[in-house]
Amino acid sequence: MIDDFGSADRRFIVRIVLAAGFAILFLRLFQLQYLNAELYGKEAEENSIRNVPKVAIRGYVYDRKGKLLIDNRPSYSVMLTPVDFDKKNLPLLTTILSMPEEMILEKIRLGRKYNAFIPTRIKRDISFAELSMLEEHKDKLYGVEIQMESKRFYPAAAHGSHLFGYAKEISDVQLEKQKDYYQPADIIGSTGIEAKYEQLLRGEKGWEFISQNAKGQIIGTFDNGKHDILPVDGVDLHLAIDGDVQAMAESLLNGRRGAVIAIDPRNGGIIALVSKPDYDLSIFSGTTPPDVWRALNTDEGIPLYNRATLTRYPPGSTFKMLLALTALDKKIIDENWKVTCPGSFRYGNKIFKCEHVHGTVNVVDAIHRSCNVFFYQLMLKVGLDEWSEMGKKFGFGKQTKVDITEENSGLMPDRNYYDRIHGKGKWTQGYLISLGIGQGEVGVTPLQLANYTAMLANKGNFYQPHALNRTYNKRTKQFSEVKVDHREVTLSDHTWELVREGMRRVVMAPGGTGAASRVPGIEVAGKTGTAQNPHGKSHAWFIGFAPFEDPKIAICVLVENVGYGGAFAAPIAGLCMEQFLYGEIIRYSKRPMKLEPNLPDEEPVAEN
């Protein structure tokens, strides 16, 4: 056999193998670094850059006089980095934070599941005592740090529980709906103004880009922070609310259930919106202890429920003006049309009562003295359709589109409604009689009634009720006014004159039921009402506006389960209007007395 040592064909094979090896490697590099470079580039980027959200400072809220209603205060959270924390220090941490050990362990476990290198929040809004204890034991508690955050603070006297609403840590349900912006533990406005104007108040989150290594440990800023996006601070809200009137209305309703809504009849701005019982908003600004939350939810006064916009009662005698306006406008009656009141009204075999024998009354007298018999008869004369149509023009039976939270649309019965409930042709005029005095099926919210009062004050101008007047953008340093819907119900001057004169007499003339709402030196117009309550004592209504000739405030007061409106609701309205119009309560400087509603000691003049 020939010696084949290093023969030509063997050299060739070795060279081929080498060439093939290099060719394969080169083609692979070409594939990775040229054909797929973009794909891998993206992957590398995602690997190494972490986006850390920077929460913007939530917008501040001011009242119409520029007084701060909602502020931000620093709050401190305890953060713990799972990998750095030594479990043998757990008892110390448990003692300082007075939290059960299992709860801390559970939070650490959750944090570890997400990323053991990223601090996880153990407790929000710790007390000063806890803070100083933590600082004192800092050297022992490695991996535990304090993070400064901000929480809502309410510097004004006004609670504004239902008006302002609360902003709290986002719930799973909320998060599920808005995953594109929010992250777990973000703060979100959940009720009231905080919810309605969440988009404005929250501002825009910023992003910090941080380089991390394979374990998620932070290496430093990415590209010297050149790509960081600064947070945009939230927009400030300037409300139509008068903080003093709001606070006064809240204090006057203390211990009762009810609502007060005051509206500026010149533009629909809400001056005060109170629902009682209420609660302290600051319990939501840090952590809400579960027992506090449970207590709020099970309280039989339902403090979380916004009576001002959600509750629905018959408007009682406050609705008499609506019927009067309809009749006068449609020329069904004039001021000379009179009814003689014998103290009751018989229709078929049913008797409808009046509280007094009013004698012969015209439309102005009937409003002034709240004669039911007059309006029973008028209702039969006017009929359901005209009345119902006018009611809808005044905003009843539908939502006012107020900018606060959910509202009830109330119920303004019409032909369709009766056909649906009783069956077509199965109801008679007799069904309508009590509607004339605002009883029966008709249901209104305090907000709708306040809005109606404002329209009585400004002679038929509907302005969409709104708490927000204007916004201030801190970045552009610009105010922008809120635009609201406006429409008009055109009625003759004479019609307005008669009805409003009736209302003026309710307060200003002897024999009126609303005398308790008088304001020193200012002419007030109003009307009391009683919503019959099948479950107990009636609910008291009072609506009113002032000054009579040039109204600046229209108000609706509801006090539940107290009986007559004149006695309980009217004095509250009077004090609120006085506070608004004078900027203080002047009656006491002239004649000192206690700051509480001026309740009559005798049984008030009945209305229904």
Min. distance of Cβ 226 from other proteins in angstroms?
14
For residue 388, what are the contacts with CB-CB under 8 A and spacing of at least 6? 412, 413, 414, 415
The Cα–Cα gap between 253 and 323 comes to 30
Q: What are phi and psi of 492, to 5 degrees?
A: -70, 150
Nearest alpha carbon to residue 97 among 55, 126, 138: 126
Q: Which of residues 430-449 bind other proteins (CB under 8 A)?
A: none
What type of residue sits at position 344? S
Q: What residues pair up with 557 in beta bridges, in sequence order?
A: 260, 542
Active site residue 77: no
Min. distance of Cβ 114 from other proteins in angstroms?
17
Min. distance of Cβ 134 from other proteins in angstroms?
29
The helix (run of H) or strand (run of E) holding residue 21 is: helix 8-30
Part of the chain binding other proteins (CB under 8 A), chosen from 41-49, 170-178, 417-425, 568-576: 41-49
Binding of other proteins by 6 (CB under 8 A) = yes
Binding of other proteins by 469 (CB under 8 A) = no
- Complex with other proteins: residue 43 or 136, whichever CB lies closer: 43
Give the interface size with other proteins as a residue count (CB under 8 A).
41
- Complex with other proteins: residue 218 or 595, whichever CB lies closer: 218
Q: Is the dihedral of CA 90, 92, 96, 99 positive or negative?
A: positive
DSSP-derived secondary structure for 449-480: HHHHHHHHHTTSEEE--BSEEEEEETTTTEEE
For residue 212, what are the contacts with CB-CB under 8 A and spacing of at least 6? 48, 49, 50, 218, 219
The helix (run of H) or strand (run of E) holding residue 210 is: strand 206-212
Binding of other proteins by 480 (CB under 8 A) = no
Catalytic residue among 317, 370, 388, 517: 317
The helix (run of H) or strand (run of E) holding residue 164 is: helix 161-164
Binding of other proteins by 299 (CB under 8 A) = no
Break the chain down into helix, strand, coil percent, rounded to 5.
40, 20, 40
Using CB atoms within 10 Å of the CB of residue 359, give its burial: 0 to 12 exposed, 13 to 18 middle, 19+ buried.
middle
DSSP-derived secondary structure for 467-532: SEEEEEETTTTEEEEPP--EEE----HHHHHHHHHHHHHHHHSTT-S-GGG-BTTB--EEEEEEE-
The helix/strand/coil state of 350 is strand
The Cα–Cα gap between 218 and 50 comes to 9
Binding of other proteins by 44 (CB under 8 A) = yes
Going residue by residue from 198 to 237, which x/- string records binding to other proteins, judged by CB under 8 A?
Answer: -------------xxxxx---x------------------
Q: 128-136 and 90-97 helices cross at what angle (nearest 10)?
A: 160
- Complex with other proteins: residue 38 or 291, whichever CB lies closer: 38
Binding of other proteins by 18 (CB under 8 A) = yes
Q: Which of residues 45-64 bind other proteins (CB under 8 A)?
A: 45, 47-49
Residue of 43, 106, 280, 299 interacting with other proteins (CB under 8 A): 43
Part of the chain binding other proteins (CB under 8 A), chosen from 10-18, 182-190, 453-461, 591-599: 10-18
Min. distance of Cβ 14 from other proteins in angstroms?
6
Peptide bond just before 547 cis, omega within 30 deg: yes
Tokens for 411, please give them: 């119920």
Residue of 25, 105, 110, 129 interacting with other proteins (CB under 8 A): 25
**Are the C-beta atoms of residues 428 and 384 closer than 8 Å to each other?**
no
- Complex with other proteins: residue 224 or 476, whichever CB lies closer: 224
Part of the chain binding other proteins (CB under 8 A), chosen from 12-20, 334-342, 423-431, 488-496: 12-20
Min. distance of Cβ 29 from other proteins in angstroms?
4
Min. distance of Cβ 85 from other proteins in angstroms?
23
Q: Please state, in angstroms and as integers, the Cα–Cα distance from residue 19 to each residue in 12, 16, 22, 24, 549, following that order.
A: 10, 5, 5, 9, 103
- Complex with other proteins: residue 37 or 595, whichever CB lies closer: 37
Number of Cβ atoms within 10 Å of the Cβ of 267: 18
- Complex with other proteins: residue 46 or 602, whichever CB lies closer: 46
Binding of other proteins by 10 (CB under 8 A) = yes
Min. distance of Cβ 177 from other proteins in angstroms?
33
- Complex with other proteins: residue 29 or 295, whichever CB lies closer: 29
- Complex with other proteins: residue 228 or 233, whichever CB lies closer: 228
Binding of other proteins by 22 (CB under 8 A) = yes
- Complex with other proteins: residue 12 or 293, whichever CB lies closer: 12
Min. distance of Cβ 30 from other proteins in angstroms?
7
Min. distance of Cβ 26 from other proteins in angstroms?
6
Residues carrying an active site annotation: 317
- What residue ranges bind other proteins (CB under 8 A)? 1, 3-7, 10-11, 13-15, 17-18, 21-22, 24-26, 28-30, 32-34, 36-37, 39-41, 43-45, 47-49, 211-215, 219
